[in-house]
Structure 1
Amino acid sequence: MRYRVIHQLRERNFDKAVTRSEMEVLDYLEKNFDRIPHISVVKVAAESFTSQATINRTCKILGFRGYSELKYAVEEDLVLMKSSSEKHIAHTEYILRKISFDSVDEVAKAVSENRRKLLLFGLGASNISALYLQRQLLYKGIPSTIIAEVQMLKNFEDFAIIILSSSGETQRCHQMAKEAQKRGLKVLTLTKKDSTLMQFSDLTFYHEVPVDKQKGISREQQLHIILMVNELIDRI
């Protein structure tokens, strides 16, 4: 049994364009997901400042004939979500869909080409992921050095550096990438698509997992980075 509604609300990958009012309904449904089985279409319309007609159109976008059918599907999703194992499985499946596995090959090739001259850099939780990457590289016979400061780059000419950053918006990561490029190092990154860090990279293995800078749990969540490290190692 798989989720019928919650993933659609999170991803919003629909075949047709969504109007502003329909988007407001989608936002409301996602925010109040656990309440949906217990509230009427009239209440949803009132609280989302839309109309019943808009809600019915939104239900059809989600693949349901109407609000009653949507409520039943949401209730099924909630039953699944109460199971710890299903909750973690669903979260992992969601994360996997947000990783661009097609973008890893060039990074893996660059790592292999620089297997004797490789630096790693990460901050906070990403530093733990960098340590994990270092360990996995050793199993492949590839030594690497973790550096902590920009000034250390002067000791490593003609190296490549892998920078790990979930958000790609950490200033020290930007500084490291810019200084590395200035010194002629190849900059490889594991980070978020279209982030500032990606702009400072030569090659990027990227994800599209939402990163909430205001929430510590989301910000420090490293599951996607660990999965990306595993994939990178498998491709080398």
Structure 2
Amino acid sequence: MKILLKRLAQYKGELSQLEKQVLDYIIANPEQIANSSLNALAKNLFISTATISRTCKRIGFSGFQDLKYTLNKDSEQELYEAAKPSLSFLSSHMERVQQEIEWTLEHINEAQIQKAANFIHESNFIEFFGVGASLPTCIDAARKLTFSGTICNAREDWDELRCVAKRLSSKDLAILVSYSGETAHILEFAAILKERNVKTIAIVGRKSSRLKDLVNITFHAQIQNCYLGDLDMSSRFPLSILLDFIILTAIESRKKS
């Protein structure tokens, strides 16, 4: 639960004053929220239900019920972890990564992978959009596509990415990589790309996100939050795996055609 609440706290800088009030209450009273109704919470905070629902969406949930479900599941996971035999420090993290990769592989949609590969074939130019810890994943994928003969790029500078987004067209493809699907810069770029009718693919680590509503295709990888103190050690391997499969499919399809 502590890890989940720490992640939610990172959204404070993106919220309005009322939304911050809701988030502060959620962080301070997670057990109460998990067992409360939307109307009851609105009465306690003297805030409209619409404000609470909007806050839930702003911090990465589809709505209040999705928030409650996540809080309950996180609490159940804590009880499960406490009850099972303890693993060594390294073994516990090996198990976490294994679970992430297995879940991601089990939920791959081959038809969607092929559709994403077709987007690559149909595009004159491909730009990867990723910031922070997601950037290395973009650089690695762009390098592989470049060596396969595809014209593409992955840039580091935010202003440069914004400029590129404003110049791409419907004949191009943008691939956006974001662990949360809620990163402010990525959402900004996605909105620009949508307005310009650019084909878009999102690779995210959360099932519910605002980014999903701004793109053509979304792939969801399973990523568990992992912090050592304030250091974010959450894995990005599942994001890379999905990109690898899209690229492999695109290269193989090109050979056949």
- TM-score interval, smaller chain: 0.5 to 0.7
User: Offset of 1:138 from its aligned partner?
Assistant: 2.0
Q: How does 1:61-140 map to 2 (within 5 A)?
A: 74-75=84-85, 78=86, 81-82=87-88, 84=90, 86-99=91-104, 100-102=107-109, 103-114=112-123, 116-140=124-148
User: Offset of 1:203 from its aligned partner?
Assistant: 1.0
Match of 2:215 among 201, 211, 214: 201
Identify if the C-alpha distance between structure 1 residues 155 and 34 changes in structure 2 by more than 3 Å, giving closer, same or farther. closer
Q: Tell me if 1:142 matches 2:157.
A: no
Match of 1:226 among 228, 237, 240: 240
TM-score (norm 1): 0.61
User: Offset of 1:164 from its aligned partner?
Assistant: 0.5
Secondary structure of the 2:220 match is strand
Does 23-32 or 165-174 show the bigger shift? 23-32
Q: How does 1:165-176 map to 2 (within 5 A)?
A: 165-176=178-189
- Contact 2:117/2:247, CA 8 A, preserved across alignment: yes
Q: Work out which of the two has the higher radius of gyration on C-alpha atoms and give 1 or 2.
A: 1
User: Offset of 1:215 from its aligned partner?
Assistant: 6.0
Q: Residue in 2 aligned with 1:185?
A: 198
Q: Which amino acid aligns with 2:223?
A: V
Residues paired across the two proteins, number: 171
Secondary structure of the 1:169 match is coil
Q: Tell me if 1:162 matches 2:167.
A: no
- Contact 2:117/2:249, CA 8 A, preserved across alignment: yes
Cα RMSD (Å):
3.2
Q: Tell me if 1:31 matches 2:78.
A: yes
Query: What does the per-residue CA deviation read over 1:163-198, in whole Å, with 9 as the maximum and x for residues that have no partner?
Result: 110110111111101101111211111113221101
Secondary structure of the 1:120 match is strand
Q: Which amino acid aligns with 1:180?
A: L
Q: Which amino acid aligns with 1:82?
A: S
Q: Which amino acid aligns with 1:96?
A: I
Structure 2: segments with no counterpart, 5+ residues:
1-34, 36-68, 251-257
- Contact 1:190/1:204, CA 8 A, preserved across alignment: yes
Query: What does the per-residue CA deviation read over 1:54-96, in whole Å, with 9 as the maximum and x for residues that have no partner?
Result: xxxxxxxxxxxxxxxxxxxx33xx3xx3273x54542232112
User: Offset of 1:210 from its aligned partner?
Assistant: 4.3
TM-score (norm 2): 0.56
